[in-house]
A and B are shown apart, each in its own frame.
Chain A
Amino acid sequence: KAGVTQTPRYLIKTRGQQVTLSCSPISGHRSVSWYQQTPGQGLQFLFEYFSETQRNKGNFPGRFSGRQFSNSRSEMNVSTLELGDSALYLCASSLAGTKETQYFGPGTRLLVL
């Protein structure tokens, strides 16, 4: 069974631009979570989607948004990019998201110049 895939793997943007990242969960998994990893803050939860609905949200500004499609694939969008948004963005999938084991993708490394 294929693992969690994320595209693109690397991205360079400039301040003020917006970016969309994509995540395809493991087949059969319906829950997708997003995390941001930075050297200073570590791994922080962004949001979680299940059956196309956002079920949980971390403490991030409204510039960070996401969605999930009927095939469970998810996208996250960051608008008006800031230098501090440079990070590794990790996506994780689980069967139903209720305390189940999450499997992570390789991440998308975003650099904002």
Chain B
Amino acid sequence: GEDVEQSLFLSVREGDSSVINCTYTDSSSTYLYWYKQEPGAGLQLLTYIFSNMDMKQDQRLTVLLNKKDKHLSLRIADTQTGDSAIYFCAESKGSGYSTLTFGKGTMLLVSP
């Protein structure tokens, strides 16, 4: 199966919280990342978490990591229409170099 799996689509209303989920397979992954991609643009780093952490909060973003289940989630509080984009989960696998393995991305649609 895929190394990193994400649900493909999420629709929420403006002001609600959004939760995007991701599962990964490599227990040696040291860093796990969330990137955002808007139409026609490159990838914007949103946040990352070390594998020895359970949670990281950064303004409206909360990342939760469950190492036992290899599950990562990104919660966006008070979601805005400007948050509509594709969100990618990525893991940095193995020892040494910074090769990222990405999920297929979750398209978040925020309606007014």
Contacts and interface: CB of A to CB of B under 8 A. Distances in A.
Secondary structure call for the A interface: strand
Interface residues of B, number: 23
Given A43-B88, A90-B42, A105-B42, A99 B100 contact: no
A31 B98 contact: yes
Contacts of A99: 30-31, 92, 96-98
A101 B45 CA distance: 8
A104 B97 contact: no
Interface in B13-62: 30-31, 33, 35, 41-45, 48
A14 B43 CA distance: 27
B70 interface: no
B102 interface: yes
A104 B43 contact: yes
Contact of B99 (A56, A100, A101): A56
B98 A102 contact: yes
B98 A98 contact: yes
Contact of A102 (B30, B100, B104): B100
B97 A103 contact: no
Nearest to A93: B98
Interface of A: 4, 6, 31, 33, 35, 42-43, 45, 48, 50, 55-56, 58, 90, 92, 94, 97-107
Given A90-B42, A97-B97, A99-B30, 9 more contacts: A31-B97, A35-B100, A50-B97, A58-B99, A90-B43, A99-B97, A104-B35, A104-B43, A106-B42
Interface of B: 30-31, 33, 35, 41-45, 48, 88, 90, 92, 96-105
